[in-house]
């Protein structure tokens, strides 16, 4: 059995089947330097936990806002290099530091992170430089689950949804890296605080699904399943390369795809 599976199995036994410690490995790398204007915002949750947020290139001159949810194993500053092409193309990018990461307090869990994400989106939507322009939600890897969750919960606020390398549910992702026949058992007993495959069926806004066929972390067929279940205008863009490396490997083409979604949203607002 693989080391990863042993870790997952131990987590299963110790964390009431939530796999929180597996989905939220703490990023202990030094913070990357960021060469852009940053606004830091602290939001305090109803349970008294302070959660740090970052607003990159916040400006009334930006063409739109993208709320980006990063993969669960990284701090915001260490993920900035991934979203930098979006900032350079004129988007203002808002990100949330998950509990227990960076200067955010508390411990990460699926429930608490989802609650924080919803709070952050409602805060963001009320900002003056955000209100008058399209607001897109983007999630990569674990962040794709959050993106689908908050979009489903706040469809009146969201003008477009983008996911890259995300999975259909916590249980299916946990099962995907567990050996057979244990995978079937894992799929049954891992808790799903929310299930993207169910939620995506109710989301009406334009959607862009991105996934690499060479992804060895989240199987490509998970985005295929999400795409098939999704309603309304949608696109599945198949790329190559490692897990959620699309913006790093193909920044120009990736930004072009995001711009296509933005233009559909922008034209809809004008009309």
The pLDDT of residue 19 is 42
The pLDDT of residue 18 is 40
pLDDT category of residue 16 using cuts at 50, 70 and 90: very low
pTM for this one?
0.85
Average pLDDT estimate for 156-176: 80
Question: How many percent of the chain have pLDDT more than 90?
Answer: 63
pLDDT of residue 124 exceeding 90, the answer is: yes
Average pLDDT estimate for 208-219: 94
pLDDT of residue 158 exceeding 80, the answer is: yes
Give the mean pLDDT of the chain: 84
pLDDT category of residue 71 using cuts at 50, 70 and 90: confident
pLDDT of residue 132 exceeding 60, the answer is: yes
Average pLDDT estimate for 151-180: 80
- Domains located in the chain, CATH noted: 39-270 (3.40.50.1820)
pLDDT category of residue 14 using cuts at 50, 70 and 90: very low
CA 134, CA 130: separation in Å to the nearest integer?
Answer: 8
Contact between 99 and 125 (Cβ < 8 Å)? no
pLDDT category of residue 63 using cuts at 50, 70 and 90: very high
Q: Which pLDDT tens digit goes with each residue over 245-265?
A: 999 999 999 999 999 999 988
Average pLDDT estimate for 5-10: 48
The pLDDT of residue 153 is 96
């Amino acid at each position: 059995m693989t080391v990863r599976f042993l870790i997952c199995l131990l987590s299963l036994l110790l964390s009431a089947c939530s796999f929180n410690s597996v989905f939220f490995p703490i990023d202990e790398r030094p913070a990357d330097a960021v060469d852009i204007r940053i606004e830091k915002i602290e939001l305090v949750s109803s349970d008294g936990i302070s959660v740090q947020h970052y607003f990159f290139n916040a400006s009334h001159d930006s063409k739109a806002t993208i709320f980006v949810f990063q993969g669960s194993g990284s701090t915001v500053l260490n993920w900035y290099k991934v979203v930098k092409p979006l900032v350079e193309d004129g988007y203002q990018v808002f990100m949330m530091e998950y509990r227990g990461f960076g200067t955010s307090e508390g411990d990460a869990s699926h429930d608490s992170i989802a609650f924080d994400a919803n709070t952050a989106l409602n805060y963001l939507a009320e900002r003056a430089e955000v209100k008058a322009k399209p607001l897109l939600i983007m999630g990569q890897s674990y962040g794709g689950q959050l993106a689908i969750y908050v979009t489903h919960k706040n469809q009146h606020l969201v003008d477009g949804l983008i996911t890259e390398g995300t999975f259909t549910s916590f249980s299916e992702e946990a099962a995907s890296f567990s050996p057979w026949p244990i995978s079937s058992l894992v799929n049954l007993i891992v808790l799903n605080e929310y299930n993207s495959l169910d939620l995506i069926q109710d989301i009406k806004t334009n959607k862009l699904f991105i996934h690499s066929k060479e992804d060895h972390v989240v199987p490509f067929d998970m985005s295929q399943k999400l795409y098939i279940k999704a309603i309304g205008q949608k696109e599945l863009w198949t790329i190559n390369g490692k897990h959620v490396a699309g913006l790093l490997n193909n920044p120009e083409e990736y930004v072009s795809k995001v711009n296509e979604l933005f233009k559909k949203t922008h034209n809809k607002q004008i009309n």
